[in-house]
Structures are given as C-alpha cells and as structure tokens.
Structure 1
C-alpha cells in the first residue's frame, strides 16, 4: 500500500479508504489510486483487511444454489453478481445438489470466510442451525424455497399459481388425461407445484385419484425413462405437465424418441435452453431467476445498510410462454 500511495501521490490512509470503498474520496483520487494499483499489480489482503476495517466486513457474499449447471441457478447467480459487483463485493457460490448435509457444509464454509451475507437455496427440513447467525445480525435471504425453523427474508416464485396456470392452459384446450412429472417430493417447490396442479384439476371437475403423478425425478434421464413408460402404457395421457426444467428436457427426449412430439401436449415449469428453437417450441411457465437474484441481493444490502424491519417475503410472478407444445389439442393424440 505504501508503494501504491507513493506512485499515486497520496497518503497510505487514502489508499486504504479507496480499497475499502469508504465514502468522501473524490473520483479523481480514486482513479489515481486504482491506476497505481493496476500498475503495481496490487491485490489487497482481504483477511488482514477484515481485521483493520472499521465495519468488519469482508466485501463478500455466500450464494448457495441448487446446482450451478442448472440454467435457473446460473441466471440467478449472474443477477446476484451484477448487484454485488456494483458495490465492489465478491460472490462465492456453491451447489446444493438437494443434499441436506451439503447444505450445512456449504453454509459453514461461507461463514468461515466471514461473508457479509448469505443468499441460500435450501433443502433440509429446518434451517434452525442459522438462528445464532441471524441473532448476530448476519443478513440471510432465502431464494426459490422458503425457510423452516427460522424467520428471515425470502424471495420465491409463485409456484402453486404457476402450476395452476400451466394446468389451466391444458384444460382449456380440452385435455382431461394430464400427467404430472415432478422433482423430488421432499422439495418445497415440488410440493407447491404438485398442489397447484391437482387443485386446478379439481376446480375444473377432473377427478384426481386416477391422474398419473410421477415424482422423485431428479435429472433428464430419470424423467426420460418415466415418460417413456408412461407414454407406452395402456392409457397414455394426452398431455404432460413437467414441474422442473430438467424434467421437461427428459420428457421432450422421450416424446421425440417415440415420434409423438406433435401429438402429446407438454407444458413445463421453468424455461429450457433452446426451447423456442424446437419444432414445436416448448410451452413453459417461466420463472424470473434474474429478478429473484436481483431482489435477493438488494435485500442483503438493505440489511447491511441498516434495515432492521421484519422479515420480507417477496413473491415473483411467473408467466406462460406459448410456443406450440402446450397448444396441441387432445384430438391429435387419439
């Protein structure tokens, strides 16, 4: 820092204030310090900085997502990063893989790094283990799934309403034999989507006791196998509602293997990559992971900036994107 100060023609304390993002430093001074830092390839020691910094912050967030290879998680991650980078804050990300033990291991790793806040997708039955951290004032925002065992901010999609929207779309086109293919049944969002599906069938007078409901499909291949078995059975459905994007991809593969992608209607929950380029295009109820990530990051920074209000629950609406697969009428599949 002394070398940077000498090259920039400022004091060491000024360099420290620029590095730590403190206020009341002119833009010209900031530019001089940053130019000098780049010239000298200066990288601050964040751990030492934590000890000296008046606010005790590490300028970092911990982000736990379902799986970094899922497009939904990738979009959410990018949105969090966009907000954080504007404040000079780094984001450490980890995958949950729907494993309760992995959830707690990842959260513990974030806390060991003294992150300033947490944005978490969770799967365990209770997040009560976070109660001490919440009492210490660490901002924690839950995304995609709401917390259990603690009260904290959350940002979620309207899962039941989105599933009902998909189901209604198929019912309005005349379908009555509609199958549900879903994620692991222990996941909160999966339960909400199943509930929205079944309740919408009931509202339209469709008996739900004989409706095919296949769950615990955790990837494309398990969904493909389940769809193949369903579609080659004695009484195949005329339409399918798939409640997660990887499940939707598996169903698409099965339909194309059987040559029935123009005969059986399909609506998926979550958009899928290149879904608009297939023939027919894949009709989806799309979440807005970028909005979820942005709102979650903004909630963390609001808490860091002094917001001590009651926990906030933000619900991000879904929207139906009709591309062709969800508009296939049942007559075609007879």
Structure 2
C-alpha cells in the first residue's frame, strides 16, 4: 500500500478508503489510486484484514437444491444484498438430507464465514448453538429452525393454499384433491393445513383418497393422481403442493380427454405459456432472500440485542386459466 500511495501521491489512509470503497474520496483521487493499483498489480490482503477486523466479509447459504428455480431466485437475492455489503457468498445444496446440511453448515463455519442463511433440512439445529455463541449470525428462510430460536423469513403457506382452494371452490368444485410433499417438511405441512382449513370453511368433506403426501418424484405423483381420478368419486380439481408436483400433474392431465382444474403452489418457468396456462399461488422468492440477507447483515452490523424476528411474506394467487376450468 505504501508503493501505491507514493505512486498516486496520496496518503495511506486514502488508499485504504479507495480499496474498501469508503466515502470521502474525490473521483479524481479514486482514479489516480486505481491507476496506481493497476500499474503495481496490488491485491488486497484479506488475511491481514481478517486479523484487523475479525470479519471475513463472507457468508454461507445452505439451501435444498440450487437447480430449483425457487431456490435459484432466492439465492440470487441473497447474493445481491451480500454484494452491497462487500461480502462474498458461498452456496451449497443439502438435497433435503439433514446430515448433508450439518456438514455444509459446519464446513462454512470452519472457513470463518461471518454469517449463515439456512433453508433447513433438519428438525434439530442445536448443533449450531456453539457457532452462534461464537458470533456467527444466523437466519433461517423458507422454514423455521428446529429447537433453536433465531431470525426466520417464511411464506404464508397455509394462507396461500387457502386462497388457492377457495378459488377452485368459487369456480364450482367440491371434490378437490391435494398432492403434497413429505409431511415432515414444514412448508408441506402448512400447505396441507391450508387445504384442510379451506375445505372445512366451505363445509366440504375430505376423503382420504383425495389427499396424498410423500416424495415428489414423478412416479409417486402419477400414481397418486391416477388414484384420485379413478375412484368412485373422482376429483374434479387438483391443488399441487409445489412446482415439482405441478409439472408432473400437467403432464398427466394433458393426456386426459376431460379437463381437470389445476392450481399449483409455486410459479414455474413457462407456466403462463401452456394451454391452458397454469394458475398458481406464487411465493416471493427474491423477497424472501432479500429479507433474510437484510436481517443477517443487521445482526452483523451490531443489532444483536433484539429478540429473534419472524417475518412472514404473503403468497399471491395468479389466475391464468387452469384453475378456472369448471367441473365436468
């Protein structure tokens, strides 16, 4: 830095401000310092910075599957907020495996990340208590932490599902099926609750063969939907508990001669271009990622005395055609 300062004709503090993108330096001075940095091949020593600030300017994000469009949008929003704070984002996918989640979380902590944003796979996160006590800021998103009281950002899953079921009821449906994810997953359980509450509020029965929870593999979803459509009282409408279920349902229903109404939780790419376009209950994935990251940096900026925050964002019904098909 001394060489850079000498070449640019400024003091060491000015070089430090330029390198750390601090305010109070004129554009002309910034240009001269940057030119000196480029000419000398100067690179910031992050190890020295860590010793001085006790911060690594990095955070870790653990989610279910980065290939899922929902989590990709959430991740991008976290990264955007991290970038405005001059922090680097490390990301890993747990594949809904609690052991993999713990391995990733502890690996990030071993690399001295300043904070964590976690989409949980586990139902017990007490293993994180020593890391949090050591100063690692932690925010959970999409699902709450298990047995740990920390900041969390959620979607109103039950409320969004109630709106979707009410929409089908308003279009004349009384036999409405529900296919969801594994019941132990928080979001799946909340969406099932929303379905049950909406049906009960309308005074409608729920037959056991109208509701199926389990893995969202295409084989399982096809079998569940086939059973609902083949029974003595087949469903006339389906609520799909997430975008993977919806995609499989679209493939099955497109091959049937009689149309079946469909509403899916989570939007997905090209949903508006299908025929009919798919009615969905959409989450605000960027909003969730942004809110979680902002909470995290609020803690990193020293706001540690507040009680844990619980932020719940609304879901939004987007009618497009498939949910407006009347019973046949």
TM-score by length of 1: 0.90
Give, in whole Å, the separation in 2 of the partners of 1:220 and 1:8: 63
1:324 aligns with 2:317: no
Report the secondary structure of 1:62's partner residue. Answer: strand
SS at match of 2:104: helix
- From 271, 275, 280, give the equivalent of 1:275: 271
Q: C-alpha separation between the residues in 1 aligned to 2:84 and 2:271?
A: 32
Distance 2:161 2:87 in 1: 36
Cα 1:28–1:221 change in 2 (3 A) is: farther
Give the superposition deviation at 1:147: 1.2
Distance in 1 separating the partners of 2:29 and 2:151: 38
User: Which whole-Å deviations, capped at 9, do the CAs of 1:236-295 have from their partners, x for residues lacking one?
Assistant: 3111101111111111111113355xx100001110111011111100010001111111
Q: Report Cα offsets for 1:140-179 as digits up to 9, x if no partner.
A: 1110001121111111000111111111111111111111
**Consecutive unaligned residues in structure 2, runs of 5 or more:** none
Match of 1:296 in 2: 292
Give the Cα–Cα distance (whole angstroms) in 1 for the partners of residues 81 and 134 of structure 2.
24
Asked whether the 8 Å contact 1:178–1:239 carries over to 2, the reply is yes
Q: Quick check: 75-84 or 40-49, which moved more? A: 40-49
Query: What is the correspondence of 1:97-246 to structure 2 with a 5 Å cutoff?
Result: 97-210=95-208, 212-220=210-218, 222-246=220-244
Please tell me whether the aligned partners of residues 183 and 190 of structure 1 are also in contact (alpha carbons under 8 angstroms).
Answer: yes
Deviation at 1:96, TM superposition (A): 1.8
Deviation at 1:329? Answer: 0.7
The answer to whether the 8 Å contact 2:209/2:227 transfers is no
- Superposed displacement of residue 47, structure 1: 3.5
What CA RMSD, in Å, does the superposition of the two structures yield over aligned residues?
A: 2.2
Structure 2: distance between partners of 1:32 and 1:259? 71
Cα deviations by residue, 1:54-74 (Å, 9 ceiling, x for unpaired): x21111111111210011101
For 1:16 and 1:250, the matched residues in 2 are separated by: 55
Name the CA distance, whole Å, in 2 between partners of 1:234 and 1:282: 27
Displacement of 1:27 in angstroms is 5.0
TM-score by length of 2: 0.92
The verdict on how the C-alpha distance between 1:36 and 1:64 changes in structure 2, with shifts beyond 3 A counting, is: farther
Q: Secondary structure at the match of 1:192?
A: helix
- Consecutive unaligned residues of structure 1, counting only runs of 5 or more, are none
- Change in CA separation of 1:206 and 1:87 when aligned onto 2, cut-off 3 Å: same
